[in-house]
Amino acid sequence: MNVVTGEEMHQIDRYTIEEIGLKAELLMENAGLAFVSSILHLMNKKTAKIAVLIGVGNNGGDGFVISRSLLEKGYQVDVWLIPPVKKVKGTARYHMEVFKKCGYEFTSYEAITCEDLVRNLKGKTHVIDAMLGTGLVGPLRQPYKEIIEQVNQLECQIISVDLPSGLPANGNSCITDAIKASRTITLQCPKLGAYTFPSREYYGDLTIVDIGIPKLAIKQIDSERFLWTEENVACSLPVRKPSSHKGSHGKGLIIAGSRTMTGAPILTAKACHRLGAGLVTLALPDTIINTVASQLIESTFHLCPSVNGEINSLNLDDELMNRFDAIAVGPGLGRNNNGEFIETLLHDFDKPIVIDADGLFYLKDFLTILAKRKGTTILTPHLGEFAYLINEPIAKVEKNRFQVSRDFAVKYGVYLVLKGPYTVVTTPGGQQFINTSGNPSLAKGGSGDVLTGMVLALLMQQKDLQSAISNSIFLHGMAADYLISHEYSPLSVMASDLINIMPKVLNSIQNRYHKYR
């Protein structure tokens, strides 16, 4: 599913109307009806008292369809038109006339004061926000500004049409005032701002509804951003052939751990086993082998000479190294050596390398070598690690996370996994895939180590690397979602719980595979 900017949505809209010939009035009708179908379950017809706030453009036009449809169904609805009536033009005007011809009335904000409106809204159970959509330009103007300030203080449910009014669709411009919705029903394509912070916090629960825009119209935009959903995962997870053997599922090497971080290699290796890797070898500082090996009976080990409890060199000759199909390096390495072995890996190993955590810290010194590397490289930084790697403040990276991660991935020719809520995977070609699973229980030490092991396992089993990476991220988030919907508190989910629940998560998604075929 494409994730679009406001401009791209208008482009899609134009193609649908002008080239395909689906009339704008029909699209607006579809939009209003799809919105209503998706909210009916939230409202009791006997007790719901609904207000619809209608703006000047097509978002407001959707509001007229929504109001008419709810009134036809017998709901109590008060309708408020915010701009002067004469300013409503085009398709929105058409639906305003249809609304009136059906015998319904609205109140014009022109004729009342903000206090009158607020007094009325205070008695409502639901306010539908159809004031401004993707056509917003610049900072919010009056009278929307004063209305939005008041609406945000109401205690009722606020449901936004397409996106919360006042919020820029693309997410990275400055937010002055915007509706803080309890729920947003987005039309056809999710907007970029829904996956950017702090913009996302204004959306509340997000539902995406189909309004009948043909796929061909969506294909016209040169879009490079997509959601990676359960359907994508179910359709692309590897299926084991009866004839397969352990060599068919990859021999992975994990370079991890130090004297003060013995848990990280255990988590990474266990997660890698759980996602089906054929063989997992753990390269560790020689001094911690007993502690780690006592917790890992499925892995094999390679001992590295250490200084101060951290790996000093890999002690792997080329032949030994090239027996592996892929390498993951970084979890719990520590930062007290010079990381020269990362440079060695980048030079000497031409198959996929996943670099995480302290591996990324060392990588900063070897970026020129990274740019020249022929083999596939996958970097999995969180926001802080990425900001360090590119020498920018965290806030700047957060605000422009799509742009900065794309610039980096293309410049260095890597797969970049920028972790966080809505983790973004950018391919070396610049395409971006946004993850839709997970919850704040993942914000805990160790969950990144688990993800690294999962990525290593799937990339050895799937031909398409982006699917392998995105699938690992989705399953990792889905494990956390599964736990909190099965009696775990988000406070108590631990990284090892993610690994332990993985068989059930995989089973549930594989069982749902038929749903998407």
How many angstroms separate the CA atoms of 326 and 340, rounded? 19
Neighbouring CB atoms inside 10 A of 395's CB total 10
How would you classify residue 184: left for phi > 0, otherwise alpha for psi between -120 and 50, otherwise beta? beta
What residue 141 binds from ligand LP7C6HRI, K ion, none (CB within 5 to 8 A, per partner kind)?
Answer: ligand LP7C6HRI
Extended beta strands in 345-441, E state:
353-355, 377-379, 415-418, 424-426, 432-435
Burial of 327 (0-12, 13-18, 19+ CB in 10 A): buried
165 binds K ion (CB under 5 A): yes
What residue 135 binds from ligand LP7C6HRI, K ion, none (CB within 5 to 8 A, per partner kind)?
Answer: ligand LP7C6HRI
Residue with smaller CB distance to K ion, 87 or 351: 87
What residue 31 binds from K ion, ligand LP7C6HRI, none (CB within 5 to 8 A, per partner kind)?
Answer: ligand LP7C6HRI
How many angstroms separate the CA atoms of 300 and 281, rounded? 5
Is 133 assigned a ligand-binding role in the annotation?
Answer: yes
Is 116 assigned a ligand-binding role in the annotation?
Answer: no
What's the min distance (Å) between Cβ of 157 and ligand LP7C6HRI?
A: 19
What residue 134 binds from K ion, ligand LP7C6HRI, none (CB within 5 to 8 A, per partner kind)?
Answer: ligand LP7C6HRI
Neighbouring CB atoms inside 10 A of 102's CB total 11
Residue with smaller CB distance to K ion, 59 or 157: 59
What's the min distance (Å) between Cβ of 1 and K ion?
A: 21
Is 95 assigned a ligand-binding role in the annotation?
Answer: no
Is 144 assigned a ligand-binding role in the annotation?
Answer: yes
Is 247 assigned a ligand-binding role in the annotation?
Answer: no
How many angstroms separate the CA atoms of 387 and 360, rounded? 11
136 binds K ion (CB under 5 A): no
Contacts of residue 153, defined as CB under 8 A and 6 or more positions apart, other chains included, come to none
Residue with smaller CB distance to K ion, 132 or 460: 132
Residue with smaller CB distance to ligand LP7C6HRI, 60 or 339: 60
> Quick one: which of 161, 256, 321, 424 contacts K ion (CB under 5 A)?
161
Residue with smaller CB distance to ligand LP7C6HRI, 8 or 398: 8
Is 481 assigned a ligand-binding role in the annotation?
Answer: no
Helix or strand run (H / E) with residue 179: none
Q: How far is CA 134 from CA 10, 91, 165, 274, in A?
A: 8, 15, 9, 44
CA-based diameter of the chain, in Å?
84
What residue 61 binds from K ion, ligand LP7C6HRI, none (CB within 5 to 8 A, per partner kind)?
Answer: ligand LP7C6HRI
Is 135 assigned a ligand-binding role in the annotation?
Answer: yes
Task: Give me the amino acid identity at 223.
Answer: S
Is 382 assigned a ligand-binding role in the annotation?
Answer: yes
Residue with smaller CB distance to ligand LP7C6HRI, 225 or 302: 225
Residue with smaller CB distance to ligand LP7C6HRI, 9 or 314: 9
Backbone angles phi, psi at 504, to 5 degrees: -70, -35
What's the min distance (Å) between Cβ of 128 and K ion?
A: 9
What's the min distance (Å) between Cβ of 167 and K ion?
A: 8
CB 311 within 8 A of CB 283: yes
What's the min distance (Å) between Cβ of 13 and ligand LP7C6HRI?
A: 4
Is 505 assigned a ligand-binding role in the annotation?
Answer: no
Neighbouring CB atoms inside 10 A of 400's CB total 16
Q: What is the DSSP letter of 125?
A: S
Contacts of residue 160, defined as CB under 8 A and 6 or more positions apart, other chains included, come to 128, 129, 179, 181, 183, 184, 185, 203, 204
160 binds K ion (CB under 5 A): yes
Q: 249 is written with which tokens? A: 């599922």
**Residue whose entry in the numeric block shows the structure tokens 């390398």:** 353
Query: Of 327, 429, 313, 340, which Cα lies nearest the Cα of 375?
Result: 327
Is 263 assigned a ligand-binding role in the annotation?
Answer: no
What residue 137 binds from K ion, ligand LP7C6HRI, none (CB within 5 to 8 A, per partner kind)?
Answer: ligand LP7C6HRI
Query: Of 393, 309, 328, 321, which Cα lies nearest the Cα of 350?
Result: 321
What's the min distance (Å) between Cβ of 433 and ligand LP7C6HRI?
A: 22
Which residues are at the interface with ligand LP7C6HRI (CB under 6 A)? 9, 13, 27-28, 31, 55-62, 132-141, 144, 161-162, 187-188, 213
Is 242 assigned a ligand-binding role in the annotation?
Answer: no
How would you classify residue 194: left for phi > 0, otherwise alpha for psi between -120 and 50, otherwise beta? alpha
What residue 160 binds from ligand LP7C6HRI, K ion, none (CB within 5 to 8 A, per partner kind)?
Answer: K ion
Residue with smaller CB distance to ligand LP7C6HRI, 65 or 304: 65
**Residue whose entry in the numeric block shows the structure tokens 């609205």:** 106
Query: Of 246, 343, 324, which Cα lies nearest the Cα of 283?
Result: 324
Residue with smaller CB distance to ligand LP7C6HRI, 141 or 323: 141
Is 63 assigned a ligand-binding role in the annotation?
Answer: no
Is 423 assigned a ligand-binding role in the annotation?
Answer: yes
How many angstroms separate the CA atoms of 51 and 48, rounded? 10
The residue length of the chain stands at 517
Binding-site residue numbers for K(+) are 59, 129, 165
Binding-site residue numbers are 58-62, 129, 133-139, 144, 162, 165, 264, 332, 382, 419-423, 448-449
Which residues of this chain interact with K ion, rule CB under 5 A? 59, 129, 160-161, 165
Binding-site residue numbers for AMP are 419-423, 448
